[in-house]
Amino acid sequence: MNAALTVNSRLRPPSYAPRECARVFVVRALSIGVTVLCGFTALAIGGRPAAADLTAGKTICCGAEPDIPKHRIMNTGYAAMRVNPLGLFLQPNLQYRYRFYKGEGALLRDNYLAIGLIPTVSPAFGRIGAQVDVQPVAALRFTAAYERGYYFGTFNLFQSFPGAGSDFSDTTIGDNGAAERNYKTTFEQATLGALVQLKVGPVAVRNNFRAVYFNADLRAGDSTFYDQFFDVLVPNDGWVLFNDADAIYEIKPGFLVGLRYHISSPRYQDRHFAAGDDADVNNSIQRLGLFAAYRLSEDDGSKFHTPTIVASSQWHLEHRFRTGADVSQAVPLLFVGLTWSGDLWSKK
């Protein structure tokens, strides 16, 4: 199922008033157009956030490049700050890559099987897991990952709720934290993914689709919980679909600007609705905004190369609490971060 074509949180079609229907038609038409432009074909499985790929300025690029080693151990990662919602994250990854074949040209050159560790740390939680990437050509990558983690009971988290209709606004999260209703707990998540990307001249398009399974040790009587990383009311023992569609322009080597359209769609089942919940509640998220990335330096083969500063501003087109109900729609999601990669060891 393609998240860009599925906006409602339930597994049945929603009903809209005429004015709302027109708005939804425009938004979905934009979603379909961007997705088709990116060449994505409803693979229904998605991967990890790939900020480093977006910002390295090498999305199917042109020109002579040195040979890629047959074997590599790499460190890749990012550090990021975010507001609306608030977040601070660090993900330093360690990855072994095996090149399938020696390819010529931008499309075939960067191919690999990768296996790695993916730790993530924030002031509210920590998690660690393993990830496998298969990239047969530079334009296509498949991903599978599994992680386990722990919420520390800090910064008003972890918080769970009776059902999909519960209030998970920033105000309620803050009030619950003040009343000490947050708690420590363990959780697990699994990700399946597919990424498609293409660059012609200075213009690139990219689509990253992810399906993420969530399961946490919840307080008795609850069936959903708030995930700070994704800003979603997650169905416990259930799935959420995510899609990011990007249109990118390279102003000069290492300096990119672009447009991003994002969708999050939690897939609630009947067991995720508490008594009294609105059966048509919609906890999906849509955002549209701009981003820029500037590569500070590039030294292929070094232990720390392609450090890149990333900044983004995205406005919520759809969110139960960030389009006026709790936070003004004029307030964007703001993001700034640093991505990097490096070769710790290689053998040709």
Residue 198's contacts (CB-CB under 8 Å, 6 or more residues apart) are 38, 39, 59, 60, 139, 204, 205, 206
By the 10 Å C-beta count (0-12 exposed, 13-18 middle, 19+ buried), 105 is classed as exposed
Position 187 scores a pLDDT of: 98
How far apart are the C-alpha atoms of 117 and 92, rounded to whole Å?
9
Please name the helix (run of DSSP H) or strand (run of DSSP E) that holds residue 326, with its range, or none.
none
Beta strands in 66-201 (DSSP E): 71-83, 87-98, 112-117, 120-121, 125-137, 140-151, 160-161, 185-200
List the structure tokens of 219. 């307080």
- Yes or no: say if 315 and 332 are a contact pair by the CB < 8 Å rule: yes
Please, what is the Cα angle at 39 between 251 and 135, to 5 degrees? Answer: 85
Residue 195's contacts (CB-CB under 8 Å, 6 or more residues apart) are 46, 47, 50, 53, 140, 141, 143, 206, 207, 208, 209
- Yes or no: say if 238 and 266 are a contact pair by the CB < 8 Å rule: yes
Residue 218's contacts (CB-CB under 8 Å, 6 or more residues apart) are 160, 185, 225, 236
Position 346 scores a pLDDT of: 94
Estimate to the nearest angstrom the gap between the alpha carbon of 271 and the chain centroid. Answer: 26
How far apart are the C-alpha atoms of 102 and 104, rounded to whole Å?
7
- Helix then strand count (H, E) for the chain reads 4, 16
* H-state helical runs in 264-324: none
Q: What is the pLDDT along the chain (348 residues), one digit of tens a residue?
A: 333 333 344 443 344 444 444 444 444 444 434 333 333 333 222 333 344 454 444 444 444 567 899 999 999 999 999 999 999 999 999 999 999 999 999 899 999 999 999 999 999 999 999 999 999 999 999 999 999 999 999 999 999 999 999 999 999 999 999 999 999 999 999 999 999 999 999 999 999 999 999 999 999 999 999 999 999 999 999 999 999 999 999 999 999 999 999 999 999 999 999 999 999 999 999 999 999 999 998 876 678 888 999 999 999 999 999 999 999 999 999 999 999 999 999 998
* Token pair 């990335």 in the structure block, residue: 293
Closest CA to 56 of 293, 303, 327: 293
pLDDT one-digit tens code per residue, 291-345: 999 999 887 667 888 899 999 999 999 999 999 999 999 999 999 999 999 999 9
Count the Cβ atoms, other than its own, within 10 Å of residue 63.
6
- Please state the pTM of the whole predicted model: 0.83
pLDDT one-digit tens code per residue, 152-166: 999 999 999 999 999
How far apart are the C-alpha atoms of 230 and 112, rounded to whole Å?
28
How far apart are the C-alpha atoms of 16 and 323, rounded to whole Å?
17
**Cα→Cα distances 179→33, 144, 153, 157, 280, Å:** 46, 38, 13, 12, 30
Cα dihedral sign, 131-135-138-139: negative
How far apart are the C-alpha atoms of 226 and 217, rounded to whole Å?
13
- Yes or no: say if 256 and 55 are a contact pair by the CB < 8 Å rule: yes
What domains are defined for the chain?
Answer: 3-347 (2.40.160.40)
Position 64 scores a pLDDT of: 53
How far apart are the C-alpha atoms of 137 and 4, rounded to whole Å?
24
Sheet with 232-235: strands ordered across:
160-161, 224-227, 232-235
